[in-house]
Structure 1
Amino acid sequence: MHVTVFGGTGGTGVECIKQLLAADHSVAALVRSPEKLSDEIKVDPNFTMHVGNVLEEKECEKALAESNIVIVALGGNMRAPADQKSICRTAQPVINKAVNAACADARVIAVSSLGTGDSYQHINWMTRKFVDWVLYEQIAHKEVQEASIKDTIRTWTIVRPGGLTDGASIGKWEASRTVSGGRISRADVAKFIIQECLTGDKWQNRAVSIVSK
């Protein structure tokens, strides 16, 4: 497979790149800050790095050459400048246009968040409190991102992880539409995407929530 990753210097994006390369997939990434990627990734013969801005459609198209899988792992840090907080919202329509121009048949897998969309009705009171009082701004941006994908991408999967950690992969998770709350490592989110979302129709054109078992 040839996979393009957007958001490849973030925690989940890096895990996706590392695990994809370990599985001998060809990986390209559009990054704004190449210094955030390890030399181990940069020198891998199956990795192609494009330095550029995810808000520029032509730069996204270059990174998408020959791709049949697109992973969007963008995230808006709460302490980031305003333009970076909203990057999921502002970049997704640009990525969508580039995908439809360069590889309309590609499958797009986007990392969103538990509490977004119809997952909100299933989360427990503790998770709901955190979503309402702490993550409300990021969730609002994710809502727009998800809607953009559903409206304009032919084949997609939206992955909504619970609280993200930097822990090691344990390879066990609960994945469904009705997850109520919990945490999961970025490594396991990447593993879930690679094992269950790259091919097949189990999660095709569906949103799935995921936490560790």
Structure 2
Amino acid sequence: MKITMFGATGRTGSRAAACLLQEGYEITALVRTPEKLPPSLAEHPHFHVVQGEVRSENDLAKVFDEHTSLVYSALSTDKSDTLSAAVPLIIHQMKHYNIRRIVTIGTAGILRARSNPDIFRFQSGESKRKMTRAAEEHASVFKSLKDSGLDWTIFCPTYLPEGDASDNILWEVDFLPSGGSRISTGSTALFTCRHLWEKQFFGKRVGLAESD
């Protein structure tokens, strides 16, 4: 089964790519700087690299075809509007090739606030972050996907330090689960890979944490 991937050079994306390859998927990844890829990915026979920019329609067209089954995005905000600019272009390519399923890595800031479920966590006192630009970028992606008509899932990890996977993963649809204040990049990658096709997560934000 073929996956088109974005963000494969990132902390979570590189771990997710390794996990997906272990599961037997074939990946075509659009990568701005191939030199940043771990050798284990760059040299893998089922990991195909296309160098390009995610905000370029011409470059995006090179990583999609009628055999793509799923899109996986671990794109970061890149301290710019890269994320909010790229996702509508990705959605356009998906619709062109009739690809239904997209999984993305978001942030816990765009989950619903427990104190007021009508607003995002980053708009409430539940979020400890003073800067909201990144969360606003992810909120824009949420709106784009919600309006797309696609089968999307946004996995929303809380504080995300580098680390290997564990089995102590907590999850909750639309909210950040209680009992955890962090989740490693390895655990985030593992959980998303295990639940790529989880029907109950279609059209949902899924909060992720590891039990303290």
TM-score by length of 1: 0.87
- Residue 47 of structure 2 is matched in structure 1 by 47
Task: Specify the SS of the correspondent of 2:171.
Answer: strand
Matched, 1:93 2:91: no
Task: Specify the SS of the correspondent of 1:207.
Answer: strand
Equivalent AA in structure 2 for residue 129 of structure 1 = K
Unaligned runs of 5+ residues in structure 1 are none
- Residue 73 of structure 1 is matched in structure 2 by 74
Contact 2:7/2:73 (8 A) holds in 1? yes
- Residue 113 of structure 1 is matched in structure 2 by 107
Residue by residue over 1:112-166, the C-alpha shift from the partner in whole angstroms, topping out at 9 and shown as x without a partner, is 1002152574769875232xx13x0101111111101111142111111101111
What's the C-alpha RMSD, in Å, of the aligned pairs? 2.0
Matched, 1:200 2:183: no
Matches within 5 A, 1:82-161: 85-102=80-97, 104-119=98-113, 121=116, 127-130=126-129, 133-134=130-131, 136-161=132-157
Give me the whole-angstrom Cα distance separating, in 1, the residues matched to 2:20 and 2:206.
21
Task: Specify the SS of the correspondent of 2:147.
Answer: helix
What's the CA shift for 1:4?
Answer: 1.2
What's the CA shift for 1:60?
Answer: 1.5
Contact 2:102/2:151 (8 A) holds in 1? yes
- Residue 24 of structure 1 is matched in structure 2 by 24
**Structure 2 residue aligned with 1:178, among 159, 170, 175?**
175
Task: Specify the SS of the correspondent of 1:19.
Answer: helix
Matched, 1:165 2:161: yes
Contact 1:58/1:98 (8 A) holds in 2? no
Contact 1:61/1:99 (8 A) holds in 2? no
Give me the whole-angstrom Cα distance separating, in 1, the residues matched to 2:56 and 2:140.
19
What's the CA shift for 1:106?
Answer: 3.1
Give me the whole-angstrom Cα distance separating, in 2, the residues matched to 1:68 and 1:40.
23
What's the CA shift for 1:182?
Answer: 1.5
Q: How many percent of aligned residue pairs carry the same amino acid? A: 25
Greater fraction of residues in helix: 1
Contact 1:54/1:60 (8 A) holds in 2? yes
Contact 2:111/2:156 (8 A) holds in 1? no
**Consecutive aligned runs of 4 or more in structure 1 exceeding 3 Å deviation:** 119-127
